[in-house]
Structure 1
Amino acid sequence: MVSAKSPTVRRRRLCGELRRLREAARMTCDEVGRELGCTGSRISRIESGRLGIRPGDVRELLDVYRVTGPEADRLVQLARDARQRGWWYAYNDVVSETMKTFVGLEAEASSIQNYEAHFVPGLLQAEPYARELFEGVRPTLDAETVQRRLALRMARQQVLHRADPPDAWFILDEAALRHRVGGAGVMRAQLDHLLEIGELPNVTVQVIPFAAGVHFGMGSGFVVFDFPDPLDTSVAHTENLVGAVFWEEQSEVDRCRVAFNHLRSAALSDVGSRVFIGDMAKEI
């Protein structure tokens, strides 16, 4: 079973706390850099998470900010925790840095809201469907790489079955279910898998039928992660052909949340969605 403690979330929290402490000290990144004999750019990269930081570096920053005692000890320990490697690092050979961040956030989320327009979300994919996606989208991948990526995807799904699972809400456009991935057997198995996973008490699956017409999500899919600790602010994630983006400003996350609520209203109820998916499986 995968761990619910994520170094990715710890690192993000540490960066945010260091930034808040600098601002509370009324210092710029350049001023801090001069105190420590480095550039302001380095301090900025540390705060944005683009540059790793050691516990000793954290202690030096805290000295500049005049933070001592238990609070300093807590932040240094947080730095140690942030330097740990999550279970997903076992797949280092086949996963990008962006994907490591995504899986790290997913691993500790207390709430996941995911809308997909074109394919079944990774956490809901049956193994044959996921394999067909890997082989179809990236036909140049060798068999070993496909198998490794498939193993990672299946491992990620354990987050839905852990002792304290996230409240996971998925909304799928009908197109995601109609788009044929593999043969009839693969699609039927995928639809059956959706019905099975939708029975979990922490999982909700809704479908937006074509009959709903134009709606908020006709551009692209997105995910919103919330976390159990109030110090860890919510994150939204979007992806397109060019790459993936993590949105951390409150206004950006709120836009995704508003969109998700509109999509939820446009979708069939969870019961209606189960009937819809079941009927589709019978048609194949």
Structure 2
Amino acid sequence: MAVPSHHHPAPLRWLIGTELTRIRKEARLSVAKAAALTDIGAPKIGHMENGRQAQTEQDIATLLSAYGADPRSITRLSELNARTEEANWWKPWTDTVPPWFSLYVGLERVADRSFQFELDTIPGLLQSPDYASAMTNKSMLVRADRTQRVVDFRMARQARLIDADNPLWLHAVVTTWGLEAAVGSSEVHEAQLLHLLKMAELPSVTLQVLRPQDGPLGVHAGKFTLLSFGAAHQLCYVELVDDAIYYYDQPKLRTYQLCADDLQRIALSPERSLTLIRKMVM
């Protein structure tokens, strides 16, 4: 399932809705049959599944019990539902975060793991403030008076990487093209490479570099992100110019997971990647 460009529900409502839909379909039940089994109206079930209506703990338990879900699944989804405030952390930044991206950063905040592939730049979670500022200044989609807000927001996202209690485990694959791209002054560029080396020292960060000479990929794709959750299935985020697509269906996810596996296989090992970056700084 891909979320269309006009459909931007609250992050957790969307994620829980997709889980309710998946489990209902695995139980081979129609919405009408689910309504008959639970005494929850079919329209309400539809709204809960597409994220347009908040799902209460009682509704989640009632539906999943009717679908034959195991108690652990009910508990996990109910606990995820309790993290609504955490997923809405970006609310103070509504003047900065476009609707299509707010869904992503909300999901990123409650995810356990993130795999990111960037073709021509460095992932936002690994950018230094000066590099992020130079990138934002070049953007045709950000007003000049919003540049610092965008940079501050990008830095705020990075807090998950150093969260001692619940870090986001990031595995990023970048290209030599992205590492060599002229962003800002030579001093800003060198400082960004040093920042990458520092970030790679974090237990939560794994960094690999893909070079042209490492050979073609078996599965071709542009930049993408896979988010993994302890209480829900994985999803794939594909960013467009001024919008994004969110994939949740298993065939699409298998394709992107194959691509992620291929990237990790072909790219330099984390150790050799850091050695290459050190040589670029010298």
State TM-score, norm by structure 1.
0.78
How many angstroms apart in 2 are the aligned matches of 1:135 and 1:123? 18
Q: Which residue of 2 aligns with 1:184?
A: 186
Q: Which residue of 2 aligns with 1:211?
A: 213
Q: Which residue of 2 aligns with 1:17?
A: 20
Larger Rg over CA atoms: 1
How many angstroms apart in 2 are the aligned matches of 1:56 and 1:165? 26
Q: Which residue of 1 aligns with 2:171?
A: 169
Q: Shift of the alpha carbon at 1:114?
A: 0.8
How many angstroms apart in 2 are the aligned matches of 1:274 and 1:115? 17
CA offset digits 1:47-88 (Å, max 9, x no partner): 122x133649949x86xx699xx99x9799669736546211
Are the equivalent residues in 1 in contact too, given 2:221–2:259 (CA < 8 A)? no
Q: Which residue of 2 aligns with 1:271?
A: 271
Shift in CA distance, 56/276, structure 1 to aligned 2, threshold 3 Å? closer
Alignment of 1:34-183 (within 5 A): 43-49=45-51, 51-53=52-54, 55=56, 58=59, 81=82, 84=85, 86-138=88-140, 141-143=143-145, 145-163=146-164, 164-183=166-185
How many angstroms apart in 2 are the aligned matches of 1:215 and 1:177? 19
Query: Gaps spanning 5+ residues in structure 1: where?
Result: 1-6
Q: Shift of the alpha carbon at 1:219?
A: 4.2
Runs of 4+ in 1 over 6 A off after TM superposition: 35-38, 73-80
Comparing 88-97 with 215-224, greater Cα deviation is found at: 215-224
Q: Which residue of 1 aligns with 2:253?
A: 253
State TM-score, norm by structure 2.
0.79
Are the equivalent residues in 2 in contact too, given 1:58–1:79 (CA < 8 A)? no
Shift in CA distance, 276/249, structure 1 to aligned 2, threshold 3 Å? same
Are the equivalent residues in 2 in contact too, given 1:224–1:235 (CA < 8 A)? yes
Comparing 127-136 with 95-104, greater Cα deviation is found at: 95-104
Residue identity over aligned pairs, in percent, reads 25
How many angstroms apart in 1 are the aligned matches of 2:153 and 2:234? 24
Q: Which residue of 2 aligns with 1:4?
A: none
Q: Shift of the alpha carbon at 1:138?
A: 2.4
Query: Gaps spanning 5+ residues in structure 2: where?
Result: 1-9
Aligned amino acid, residue 125 of structure 2: L
How many angstroms apart in 1 are the aligned matches of 2:77 and 2:211? 51
Are the equivalent residues in 2 in contact too, given 1:58–1:76 (CA < 8 A)? no
How many angstroms apart in 2 are the aligned matches of 1:189 and 1:29? 58
Q: Shift of the alpha carbon at 1:132?
A: 1.1
Q: Shift of the alpha carbon at 1:167?
A: 2.4
Comparing 257-266 with 122-131, greater Cα deviation is found at: 257-266
How many angstroms apart in 2 are the aligned matches of 1:208 and 1:75? 37
Matching of residue 233 in structure 1 with residue 248 in structure 2: no
Aligned length: 266
How many angstroms apart in 2 are the aligned matches of 1:80 and 1:208? 38
Q: Which residue of 2 aligns with 1:196?
A: 198
